[in-house]
Amino acid sequence: MIAESFTFAHIAYLVLEAVLQTVIIAVSGFWASHVGLLPKQAQKYISLLNVDLFTPALIFSKLARNLSMAKILEIAIIPLFFVLTTGISFTSGKLISKFLELDKDETNFVVANSVFGNSNSLPVSLTVSLAYTLPNLTWDQIPNDNRDNVASRGILYLLIFQQIGQMLRWSWGYNKLMRWTGENQHHMPPSQIQAHLEARRGLEESANMGGGSGDPVISSSMWVKVCNRFKSAFLKFKSHLNPPLCSMLIAVLVAAITPIQHELYSADGFLNNTLAEAIDQLGSVSIPLILIVLGSNLYPSEETFNKTHSHKKLVFGSIVGRMILPSCVLLPIIAMTVKYINVSILDDPIFLVVGFLLTVSPPAIQLTQITQLNEFFEAEMANILFWGYAVLSLPVSILVVSAAIYTLQWAEPE
């Protein structure tokens, strides 16, 4: 672990260097959007290109090269960590919503922002920068560990966390938390009110038509319902198989088959010098492009959204529920776990840094897409992202990473 001590000023300076690397690249994306080089339509195309090509290449290059069956078993703790952080963040969102006396739709919105943090653009770029900036993050359980391995492990931890979160975000988040319930129509847009009334009317008509008992049509309709549900479940499963997730599964398969892994990354042969190198180069584009798009997304849109009467409460509650309350519980838990439970990857210094970053990361950028699709508190979402990324991400990142380094020093066996 950490072999030498550093003053807070020294640690903060090193973290500042790493954070500023990401900030400068993101600012260039903001500038590109400002001068018209990256209009909204171009941002969407670049995001799709990154998600479908460059990010899967990054995932494959990092995982297929560095994974092994032993490591696959070790990282099984990450889903448990996800459940813990999600549960605490959910509770934080509920508590702050109750304190602010929010209604059901507003509470769901705050809970969604509290639960779905950014585990991709900001944490990934920060983790890579910190891996090459902070000293002594190598793991003593790995022979000849180096900064490249540290960065790869950090990305691995984040990607697994990200994929679990993405499936939950586009299922539970999209269909339940960030969709109008219809209970409080005073702040619903007119189009959503009409859609809600039509859907409600359709359900009532279906109930009235199927009122007879013992009718043979019911048995056939039940069969149709079963088939439709099976089809719906299959389509949902298929929708979750996004390119990054497929890339991760293929990488795990390659890592599990040692001869294939050897041909790609160990032998100085044809596949290593062509396919593997090409995938590495594609993956190297991913992180800068993620930050460029992040910066461009923060540039104010020409489209204006109507603010609700609880606008300030929703922004405040979402920021507190995401970046403040969960850390008060999770950071001590992570610190005590690293100190007293030396199991699996818990002893890896970069895992502690990743855990601390995930705990205080701003709400996920993808929530903007969901709010736009569902016309759900769009003005509030834009303001939350501004405060989370443009205002708080820099000082919070410096504080939390400095705390992570101090925790590593404290957890070091005497």
pLDDT in tens, the chain (414 residues): 444 456 667 777 877 887 788 888 889 998 999 999 988 888 888 888 888 898 889 888 877 887 777 777 778 888 999 999 999 999 999 999 999 999 999 999 999 999 999 887 788 888 888 888 887 788 888 888 888 888 888 888 888 888 788 888 888 988 889 988 877 766 666 666 666 566 555 545 544 545 444 474 445 666 666 667 666 665 665 655 678 778 888 988 898 888 898 888 877 888 889 999 999 999 888 888 888 888 887 787 766 678 889 999 999 999 999 999 999 999 999 989 888 887 778 888 899 999 999 999 999 888 887 888 888 898 899 899 889 988 898 889 888 888 888 888 787 765
Buried (b) or exposed (e) across 109-119, using 16+ Cβ within 10 A?
Answer: bbbbbbbbbbb
The per-residue pLDDT for 110 is: 96
Q: Which of 335, 390, 378, 342 is nearest to 359 (CA)?
A: 335
The per-residue pLDDT for 95 is: 97
Taken in order 296, 300, 305, 309, is the CA torsion positive or negative?
A: positive
Site of tokens 């198989």: 241
The per-residue pLDDT for 126 is: 85
CA distance linking residue 363 with residue 367, whole number of Å = 8
CA distance linking residue 295 with residue 43, whole number of Å = 10
Contacts of 93 (CB under 8 A, 6+ apart): 107, 110, 111, 112, 113, 114, 115, 317, 321, 322
Each as own residue / partner, the long-range contacts of residues 263-272 (CB below 8 Å, 24 or more positions apart, any chain) are 264/64, 264/65, 265/64, 265/65
The per-residue pLDDT for 211 is: 47
Strand pairing partners for 40? none
The gap from C-alpha 333 to its chain's centroid, in whole angstroms, comes to: 21
**pTM of the predicted structure, to 2 decimals:** 0.78
The per-residue pLDDT for 83 is: 94
**How does DSSP assign 342-390, residue by residue?**
--GGGG-HHHHHHHHHHHHPPBPTHHHHHHHHHT-SHHHHHHHHIIIII
Contacts of 256 (CB under 8 A, 6+ apart): 69, 72
CA distance linking residue 392 with residue 385, whole number of Å = 10
CA distance linking residue 15 with residue 38, whole number of Å = 29
CA distance linking residue 355 with residue 411, whole number of Å = 15
CATH of domain 8-182+221-411: 1.20.1530
Q: Both ends of the chain: CA-CA distance in Å?
A: 12
CA distance linking residue 75 with residue 345, whole number of Å = 7
**How does DSSP assign 222-283, residue by residue?**
HHHHHHHHHHHHHHHHHHH--HHHHHHHHHHHHHHSHHHHIIIIIS-SHHIIIIIHHHHHHH
Taken in order 73, 79, 84, 89, is the CA torsion positive or negative?
A: positive
Buried (b) or exposed (e) across 165-174, using 16+ Cβ within 10 A?
Answer: bbbbbbeebb
Q: What are the residue ranges spanned by the domains of the chain? A: 8-182+221-411
